[in-house]
Structure 1
Amino acid sequence: MKVGALLIFLCFFLQGFGYQPLNIFQARVVPTDSTEIWLKWARDSTTLSTSQKINLFDKAIDLTKKNNPDSLFEISFAALTTGDSILFKEISKEVIKLSKALGQKESHGLAHWDLADFYKKAKPDSAYYHLQEAYGIFSNMEELDASISHYPGAILLDIGNLKDAIKDYVGAEKDIIEAIDYFNKVETRDRLFVTYNSLGIAQNGLNKFDKALEYHQKAKSYIRYARSNRKYRYELMNENNIAFIYLRKGDFKKAYELYSALEQKDSLLLKNPELYAKVLSSRTFADFKSGAQDFEGFERAFKRSNEILDSIGDTYSKARNYEYHAQVLAGKHDTLGAIKKALIGKDIAEETTNNDRLLSSLKLLTTLDKKNSANYAKAYFNLTEDLQQKERAIQDKFARIRMETDEIIEENEALAKQKQLYSAISLILLVLGIGIFIIVSQRISNQKLKFKQKEQNSNQEIYNLMLSQHGKLEEGKKTEKKRISEELHDGILGQMLGIRLILSGLNERADEKAIEQRAELIQKLQELEEEVRTISHELNESAYEKVHEFMISIQELIQTVKKSTEADIELDYSKSYAWDILNGDTKINIYRIVQECLQNCIKHSKCKNIQVNFKSSEKMLNLTVADDGIGFDSTKEKKGIGLKNIISRVKKIDGSLKVNSIPNKGTKINIEFPVERVDLDNPKPHISRKTVQEV
């Protein structure tokens, strides 16, 4: 019992979500994640909110995008059938965006077409825009499958019917004729009935009754090409439209005959009760206008027609019944009854927004109700003006949309021609461009080489100027040292020698104590003499030693930097190497590199110690600047201007640069560059480098 109860519960549970209960003995697997399941759940469920349904549709879109993107239009149509306007608009926009991105033109066009169908009554201008978009998509497709080859003609027909609804009958006639031409071109005869039928309705709106009859007779000849399940409906539609034209034309006897024949159609009441009710009312009115006086029969017919319309919930069509009934009562000289029926018809027309019937009811009341005819005439005039303004506004919007669409088409065609022209011109210009590029590149290369040569010469001159100034300073130091040496030797040392001699003479005294003191003084003077001589010799030797100008410049740079930081800076270099043999271009760039490295260490690394090392070999020199600071991520592509300057200067001396930095462990910059010697007696070497190598 428990198992049976559980199975029953599961069946009801699944039915609540729109699923049929499964036979538990069937050996098959039910899919749990498919487009059909999400769409069925979203369509059939009555308990889900709009946002929940949108989530289900989004799941279906994602699956369709992955598995079958060319069927996205099915999702748009499924959203339309839910009757939820918010959901439909949201899903349609998403389908349009996705299908356009994926290049699914059929889904893209059908989504616009579905939106047009949704907007055609409430927002005809929006409907027209989406129809134009859909027509543009399908008419520009290179190939249309047989199943969708009729789409451009069908959309043109929809555009014509939309214009007919806003009483732009001339515009409707143009689009419908274009649709007929298209259907004839693609040999789609089964759609020519509805097209000629619409053309006849448009002619009826223009009051061209004979032309309208001609087109409806033409439409009748194409019923035989329609699908079998549509033929009966098309026959009824055709006969009713022809009868209505005779009614409007004023040929009431012919209208009565046609309506009577249509009323006698087999099972018309059962198969199409709405049409039967309209035919009954129209046949009665045509009979009255033909001169018949069967007022009791008229009363029964109008009552019966209204009862049928009430049974199917068609309030809209009842306005016409009451207007016809009012005219019959007026013909019977029952003015009060006629006014009463006309007012009911007017109220129904207002309630159902049946503006055509509202206008005709107001017009009828101006003749029936003499007391209030001025008010009805005013209402008729105001409504006419209001409707005409709205119709003109919508027609203007249609014209703007059409103009913008035509402009886009013309622009696309012009762009296509321009593209062909540009392709030919581009081919010619390409050949010319290659030649010009080679010539210009060669000139730029030559100019760049000249500029590099000038830059190197300038750097050499700058460094030589620095050497000259520094040499003058050192020459001054050397002169001063020599002067001091001479003063010590010739002045102080001579005087000291005299004192020693005098003191030696005093030793002849017999005083033992004096002799002891003098001996001590003589010993001290000898020591002082030796010390002064030693200092003099050291100063004189230092004055004539060769001065290493480049390393002195580096040392002075380090001393200057030390004054601005608490970090300890140490310099280590190969003292046996003659650094002044480097040419000026190399020295000025190395000097600037060391300067930039020290600045970077002080500004950014937060280090406590900095090591600057110069090492030499036979053909290559090596510079290393290392600190124990915070480091940085050297793998990042973005570089600061300081590092960019260093890279630029390394290139200028044909060197190679390696930067090794570890966060929180410091940074080490290693530069290796070739030796370019210079004659110290002639410090302006001939620059022979042709290019700067990239590293």
Structure 2
Amino acid sequence: MLDSIYTLRELSNQDKLKIEQRLQYAKQASELSAETGLDSTILISRKNLSYNILLSGDYDQYAEMNIGNLVLAQKIQDTLAIADANFNLGWYNQYNSDLENAYQYYLQALKYYEFANNDYQRAITITNIASIQDEEKDYLGSEQNAIEALRILNNITDKDVEIDIYYCLNLLGIVSYKLKNYDKAIEYHNESLDILKNYREYDVEKLYALNNIAIAHRDNGEYEMALKIFEDLFKEPNLRERDPSFYALLLANNAYTDFLNESYEVKPLETQFKEALRLSDSINDDATKLAVSIDLAKFYQKTDKRDSSLKYAKQSYTISKEITANELLLESMILMADLTEGEESKAFLAEHITLSDSLLNVERAKRNKFARIRFETEQLEEENKQFARDRQYLAIISIFLLIGAVLIYIVINQRAKNKELQLVQAQQKANEDIYNLLLQQQDKVDEARTQEKKRMSQELHDGVLGRLFGTRLSLDSLNFSDGPEAIKNRTGYIEQLKTIEEDIRKISHELNTDFVSGSGFMDIVTELVENQSKAYQLTCNFNYSDDISWENIDNKTKINIYRIIQESMQNIYKHAKATSIDISITLKNDVICLKIKDDGKGFDSTKSRKGIGIKNMTSRIKDIEGDINFISKKGKGTKVIVEIPYIINDNDRA
């Protein structure tokens, strides 16, 4: 579905298609987006649809779409979309001359564009605000904002903003003219013309800029400069047909400048004024007709044609009321007051004063209202900024607290690791001590065996071999004797050989007997049990079988057995409060069985499995692939049963 939506959006933006087709595609994309339930997708499609509605000229529907877009954008907190919707609603209200609402929407848009760091749209929004201020006669405020917009646009390098700069310069030229800063107005309009030289499609705007420059020269007293520009403008081909309204205005401006220059001939100038009036009347251009009527009234007043002057003064008075052109209405009232007499003249002056005061009050009220709107917006913005700062401070504090917590955790964890490392090192040292004890014990066994072998060798050499040698010599001497005495002697020597044979059998039996069977690993364990029992004031019964070849069992297993016995006796002393213990080590079905039983207070073996001692013993047994069980009940002592595979080399077993 999303692919279809993207395709429809692309089709709705095809310039080569008619607006009706584009609108249809945009509506389909919006309807499909609504089915997805994805607010972001819905909003994008609605924005696309509202743009096509704008192109179609249905401005009321365009406003309705943007009201909905604003609600949706606020729901999903899309800053840029909120700004765009406010801007579009500002434009709609400005188009409909609802400047107060337009101003409010533009201020909201400006705030969100600032949040979104969208400098281009900020500049456009500020330009529109400046335009509203111009319409409300806040010329200084308008000039200030237009300059700010121009500054922002001049700093944008990632897109073409020349036409936007033109609009800013043109507005600054108009505002400067109204502030009677004519030189500055001419400068701004000339800068705008420099931009338009590169754009053929803006030929009409070029003509308007030249007309504005000419008017500024005229009101600055530079009539010849103004007339020269008007003369050049009249040379534009087909200007009357292309823009009859502007052509009529140009005729009037040129004639009035000539009139002010006081170097004119009455008849040609009158003809020019009336041509401008006729042309504007023919195209129903009331604004130009009004301006020409006032100029004609002044012209006839200057040339002492009072009736004609009064005629056009009345005409300007009527038109200005009809189209609510208050500035020109005030001017026409002054003319009417000058051209009439008595009470009628006073009435026009009174009306002028009333309207002038009314307009001044309205203007002041609007300025105050706009100032209040800006103040309230800025106050709200400041509150939002303060809220943002508070959130930022809270975030910073939270970050510091988090960092502190992490550091504390690291310190605690490191200390735990250090303790664990110290424990491991202590265990390793204990294991090394046990291993050294085993080595020392093995050395003692080896030394005993060596001494025994030496004793056997001496006994064989000095005893048995000597006796064998003597008996052999005696038997050799009887080889040549056959008498009774010889037989008797042989019998005696045979008995001696039997005695020697028995001695050899005895020595052989001693060699086959493990004369150090009571020594080695069990001696170390016995010493441990005796020392611990004495230290803990326990009565201990320790038994072990002799059929386990400890010298053929790896040291890792022996060390762990040693440590389990040691750990068990420590636990019994610390926790069990026992008085006696039984320890046995036996061999059953190639399994070494270690049993440790005490008469202590016992514990609930189903719940107390988290102690360090129990964990250590379980870990040790698991390390040598054995099993360990704890059998205990409260008040009935504890029994620890350990089973370890009895694994020796086949050669050793043989």
Smaller-chain TM-score bracket: 0.5 to 0.7
Give the 3 Å change call, closer, same or farther, for CA 60–129 of structure 1 in structure 2: farther
Deviation at 1:190, TM superposition (A): 3.8
1:320 equivalenced with 2:291 (yes/no)? yes
Query: 1:447-526 alignment to 2 at 5 Å?
Result: none
User: Partner of 1:219 in structure 2?
Assistant: 192
Q: 1:157 pairs with 127, 131, 135, which one?
A: 127
Q: Which residue of 1 aligns with 2:360?
A: 388
Map 1:406-425; keep pairs closer than 5 Å: 406-425=378-397
Residues 1:363 and 1:63: Cα distance change in structure 2 (over 3 Å): farther
Following superposition, the deviation at residue 251 of structure 1 comes to 3.3
Within 1, Cα distance between the matches of 2:372 and 2:207? 38
Instruction: State the Cα distance separating 1:32 from its structure 2 match.
Output: 11
Which whole-Å deviations, capped at 9, do the CAs of 1:85-141 have from their partners, x for residues lacking one? Answer: 654443331122123324454443333223222222532111111111222222221
1:240 to 198, 211, 219: 211
Q: Compute the TM-score of the two structures, normalised by the length of structure 1.
A: 0.50
Cα deviation digits, residues 325-349 of structure 1 (max 9, x gap)? 1111112211011111111111111
Q: Which position in structure 2 is the counterpart of 1:356?
A: 327
Q: 1:295 to 1:283 in 2, by over 3 A?
A: same
Residue 377 in 1 paired to residue 352 in 2?
no
**TM-score, normalised by the number of residues in structure 2:** 0.53
The residue number in structure 2 matching 1:207 is: 180
Decide which of 130, 151, 157 is 1:181's aligned counterpart.
151
Q: Secondary structure at the match of 1:313?
A: coil
Partner of 1:287: 258
Match of 2:91 among 91, 107, 117: 117
What secondary structure does 1:316 align onto? helix
Q: 1:401 aligns with which of 370, 373, 377?
A: 373
Match of 2:644 in 1: none
Closer, same or farther: CA 64–376 of 1 in aligned 2, 3 Å: farther
Summarize the Cα distance change of 1:428–1:110 in structure 2 as closer, same or farther, 3 Å threshold: closer
> SS at the partner of 1:340?
helix
Matched, 1:135 2:110: yes
- Alignment partner for residue 96 of structure 1, among 53, 62, 70? 70
Question: Which amino acid in structure 2 is aligned with residue 410 of structure 1?
Answer: E
1:175 aligns to what SS in structure 2?
helix
CA distance in 1, matches of 2:242, 2:152: 33
- The 2-side partners of 1:306 and 1:208 are apart by 30
Q: Deviations over 1:390-414 (max 9, x none)?
A: 1112211211221122223323332
Residue 108 (structure 1) aligns with? 82
Larger radius of gyration: 2
SS of aligned partner of 1:221: helix
Q: How does 1:564-583 map to 2 (within 5 A)?
A: none
State the partner residue of 1:334.
305
Shift of 1:288: 1.8
**AA matched with 1:383:** L
C-alpha separation in 2, matches of 1:430 and 1:332:
89
Contact 1:34 1:63 in 2 (8 A): no
CA contact (8 A) 1:76 1:111 kept: no
Once residues 122 and 98 of structure 2 are traced to their aligned partners in structure 1, the CA distance between those partners, rounded to angstroms, is: 22
Equivalent position of 2:415 in the other structure? none
Q: Give yes or no for contact 1:176–1:195 (8 Å, CA) kept in 2.
A: yes
RMSD: 3.6
Aligned pair in 2 of structure 1 residues 69, 279: CA closer, same or farther (>3 Å)? Answer: same
Instruction: Structure 2: give runs of 5+ residues left out of the alignment.
Output: 1-6, 407-654
Contact 1:335 1:368 in 2 (8 A): yes
Distance in 1 of aligned mates of 2:25 and 2:191 = 48
Alignment check: 8 A CA contact 2:9 2:48 kept: no
> How far apart in 1 are the matches of 2:155 and 2:301?
53
Distance 1:64 1:354 in 2: 48
Matched residues in 1 for 2:8 and 2:378: separation? 48
CA displacement at 1:81 relative to structure 2: 5.5
1:166-211: CA deviations, max 9, x gaps?
1101100110010111011104344322212211211111112222
Q: In the aligned structure 2, how far is the partner of 1:154 from the partner of 1:361?
A: 37
Closer, same or farther: CA 376–387 of 1 in aligned 2, 3 Å:
same
Counterparts in 2 of 1:530-679, with a 5 A limit? none
Aligned residue in 1 for 2:245: 274
Answer yes or no: is the 8 Å Cα contact 2:169–2:192 preserved in 1. Answer: yes
Amino acid at match of 2:97: A
Residue 70 of structure 1 contacts residue 106 of structure 1 at CA under 8 Å; is this kept in 2? Answer: no
1:77 Cα offset (Å): 3.9
Task: Give the secondary-structure state (helix, strand or coil) at the position aligned to 2:237.
Answer: coil
1 CA distance for matches of 2:12 and 2:74?
23
Give the 3 Å change call, closer, same or farther, for CA 428–261 of structure 1 in structure 2: closer
Partners of 1:197 and 1:221 lie apart in 2 by 12
Long gaps (5+) in structure 1: 1-30, 46-52, 435-695
More displaced stretch, 278-287 vs 89-98:
89-98
Residue 123 of structure 1 aligns with an amino acid whose one-letter code is D
What's the CA shift string for 1:357-401, capped at 9, x where partnerless?
A: 111111222222234221111111111111111111221121122
Query: Which residue, out of 250, 255, 261, partners 2:226?
Result: 255
- Distance between the aligned counterparts of 1:43 and 1:343, measured in 2? 47
CA distance in 2, matches of 1:150, 1:428: 37
Quote the Cα distance in structure 2 between the aligned partners of 1:34 and 1:323: 53
Match for 1:179: what amino acid? A
Q: Offset of 1:35 from its aligned partner?
A: 9.7
Q: Percent identity?
A: 24
* Alpha-carbon distance in structure 2 between the residues aligned to 1:77 and 1:351: 35
Work out the CA distance in 2 between the residues paired with 1:374 and 1:210. Answer: 38
2:164 and 2:9 map into 1 onto residues whose CA distance is 39
What is aligned with 1:191? Answer: 164
SS in 1 for 2:286: coil
1:351 is displaced (CA, Å) by: 0.8
What number of residue pairs does the alignment pair up? 389
Cα deviation 1:33-62 (Å, max 9, x = unaligned): 99969xxxx9979xxxxxxx9x99988754
- Matched residues in 1 for 2:121 and 2:10: separation? 29
- SS of the aligned residue for 1:261 comes to helix
Amino acid at match of 2:386: A
Q: Name 1:72's counterpart in structure 2.
A: 46
The 8 Å contact of residues 160 and 172 in structure 1, kept in 2 or not, is answered as yes
**CA separation of 1:381 and 1:277: change in aligned 2, threshold 3 A:** same
